[in-house]
Structure 1
Amino acid sequence: MPWSSLSGGGLLAGMAVALKHYIPHVEVIGVESEQCASFSAAMKAGRPVYTKALPTLADGLAVPEVGTNAFYCAQPCVDRVVVVSEKDIALAILRLVEVEKSVVEGAGATGLAACLSGQLDHLQGKNVVVMLCGGNIDTTTLGRCLERGLAADGRMATFKVVLEDRPGSIAGLTRLLSELKCSVKDITHERTWLQASIHHVEIECVVETVSKEHRRSLKTALLDKYEGGLVEWGAQKLDHTSQ
């Protein structure tokens, strides 16, 4: 069951036609980003159609309209098209660096992203080929992808907590993080724009965790210790009733 990423559709069309000729029973799956799902739109319409392309880690796949010849060659040979999220793509790039020691651009990593997305669980235990096509990614983008991947993997957390602005308050927070074995990656203080009392300070932390379970235990510990003081978890605004 080969996976191939999609752009104009040429690579997928060539692979699909050849594979179906030599191995008729093989399942061919195309993968594209949800930010520009032009091949999925073409499959639905039965012909190439214009699809708005939004910014994506898989910039090599951001083709608003698939090629006409490529589409009509691929259409009868492609069994399924899977659409993956930006989070899945970032996680796939991270996995390839960590496990395979391979640097693959976002477009080339979409095949593995489909595996990680949970949309193809029926293929577990079967022989599968994933195309890793393209390593054209600059170091700045790669760094951002790795951080996004760590966050998606439950290995990074960010939160904001309001503390009394007095000696020992931040020490108490860092002590809690140490006890939970969370590594502080970044910490900032906000006083000027804080809506609470002038005797309080808002602390924003970015910490490294080892898993999603570890990250959940951190959130629970912060809620228990600071009650209504935890005002934001990730991008989620909290109040004193949030769990």
Structure 2
Amino acid sequence: MTNSKQKWGGCVGDYTLSYKDVEQAQTRLRMVAHRTPLSLSRTFSDRTGAAIYLKMENMQKTGAFKIRGAFNKIAALSSRQRAKGVITASAGNHAQGVALAAQHFGIPATVVMPARAPESKVSATQGYGAQVVLTGDNYDEAYVAALALSLQQGSTFVHAFDDPDVIAGQGTIGMEIMEDLPTVEDIVVPVGGGGLISGIALAVKQLWPHVRVIGVQPAGSDAAYRSWHSGSLQHIEHPHSVADGLSVKTPGQLTFAMMRKFVDDFVLVSDKEIEQTMCLMLERSKVLTEGAGAAALAALLSERLHLQGHRVAVVVSGGNVDLTRVSGLTAQFAGVK
């Protein structure tokens, strides 16, 4: 159980999260989200000396894990709150997760994106029925605009990671891993703002405290890594990484508290290691993944983690990547062993 005061996304208060919250989220998601495979990879097991099981959230609806948290958040709202709609700020997977969840409930959704957001992401989000507002030069400016619109409209802001219901939704991944592989010893998770690893760690540590939960972050976007190691929230003004889904200036207050309590270790990987892993996953396992989705496995392949002889679950968080980007990477790393 964890308790922390949250002051993000229009929510202020003391929140206590426990395994029961994740169980409730699992019930809500049962007929909505896919139960994604946890697949043993002989190729990557041989390369690392560990038994590597890939949790394939790249096969989730919308192509990433975000639907879990977004749907659970919206499902937890009262009918009056849902009637007023939801709003979020995102130019990535969270935008599509919120849009699809809102579509399921038949409620209005607004997604605020930076003015120069890729047209492919704008159209994908609109395809799920959301209204897209383009404003600001970056995510942070879009975030401020979304909070202002939320207050004006009376709609509920759905934070991408620093929200108890969102965290509980992401925690269902941890439950599935433990149900499918009760003998797992380590779970390796990519980290941006910390919602995914906080939820997984919450679910796992409540009943299986011996299982190690390990975070992985890009070296150029390491606010959560710095925060976890220093014991205080750290801020990065200009995070940068090929794993754009992990490029966050600072983790949330709630997620920071949970990571400090539940996460066992935290390592960094380089962009080159992430890109090489993306290519290896496509070439050797026929798995298409985005940079964020490849980060956790990159930590093992690059020997940032030494887990030889262990049973290891590796979270492949998403697969939404521009195919022209993949083409460039495969040419760059052709022949890499």
Q: Which TM-score tier does this pair reach, normalised by the shorter chain?
A: 0.5 to 0.7
Report what 1:139 is aligned to. 323
Cα distance, 1:87 vs. partner? 1.2
CA distance in 1, matches of 2:309, 2:238: 35
SS of equivalent to 2:227? helix
CA distance in 2, matches of 1:76, 1:103: 33
1:48 equivalent in alignment to 2:233 = yes
CA distance in 2, matches of 1:147, 1:82: 28
Report what 1:88 is aligned to. 273
Cα distance, 1:72 vs. partner? 0.3
Residues 94 and 20 from structure 1, CA distance in 2 versus in 1: closer, same or farther, beyond 3 angstroms? same
Q: Does structure 2 retain, via aligned residues, the 8 Å contact 1:108–1:135?
A: yes
One-letter amino acid of the counterpart of residue 30, structure 1: G
List, as ranges, runs of 4+ consecutive aligned residues in structure 1 with deviation greater than 4 Å: none
Q: Does structure 1 retain, via aligned residues, the 8 Å contact 2:202–2:262?
A: yes
SS of equivalent to 2:293? coil
Gaps of 5+ in 2: 1-185
Report what 1:127 is aligned to. 311
Alignment TM-score, normalising by the size of structure 1? 0.59
Cα distance, 1:24 vs. partner? 0.7
CA distance in 2, matches of 1:15, 1:62: 20
1:150 equivalent in alignment to 2:331 = no
Cα distance, 1:147 vs. partner? 3.1
SS of equivalent to 1:56? coil
One-letter amino acid of the counterpart of residue 208, structure 2: I
CA distance in 2, matches of 1:144, 1:48: 36
Cα distance, 1:54 vs. partner? 3.9
One-letter amino acid of the counterpart of residue 192, structure 2: S
CA distance in 2, matches of 1:5, 1:131: 7
Cα distance, 1:80 vs. partner? 0.7
Residues 12-161 of structure 1: matches in 2 within 5 Å?
12-121=197-306, 123-150=307-334, 153=336
Residues 104 and 29 from structure 1, CA distance in 2 versus in 1: closer, same or farther, beyond 3 angstroms? same
Cα RMSD between the aligned structures? 1.5
SS of equivalent to 1:28? strand
Cα distance, 1:45 vs. partner? 2.8
One-letter amino acid of the counterpart of residue 149, structure 1: F
Cα distance, 1:148 vs. partner? 3.7
Cα distance, 1:67 vs. partner? 0.9
Which of residues 186, 192, 196 is equivalent to 1:11? 196
Cα distance, 1:140 vs. partner? 1.5
CA distance in 1, matches of 2:216, 2:201: 13
SS of equivalent to 2:215? strand
Q: Does structure 1 retain, via aligned residues, the 8 Å contact 2:187–2:312?
A: yes
Residues 172-191 of structure 1: matches in 2 within 5 Å?
none
Residue deviations 1:138-188, cap 9 Å, x none? 11111223234337x3xxxxxxxxxxxxxxxxxxxxxxxxxxxxxxxxxxx
**Larger C-alpha radius of gyration, 1 or 2?**
1
Residue deviations 1:6-60, cap 9 Å, x none? 0110010010111111211111100010111111111133122211334321000
Report what 1:229 is aligned to. none
CA distance in 2, matches of 1:89, 1:11: 19
Residues 144 and 55 from structure 1, CA distance in 2 versus in 1: closer, same or farther, beyond 3 angstroms? farther
CA distance in 1, matches of 2:259, 2:197: 7
SS of equivalent to 2:316? coil
One-letter amino acid of the counterpart of residue 313, structure 2: V
Alignment TM-score, normalising by the size of structure 2? 0.43
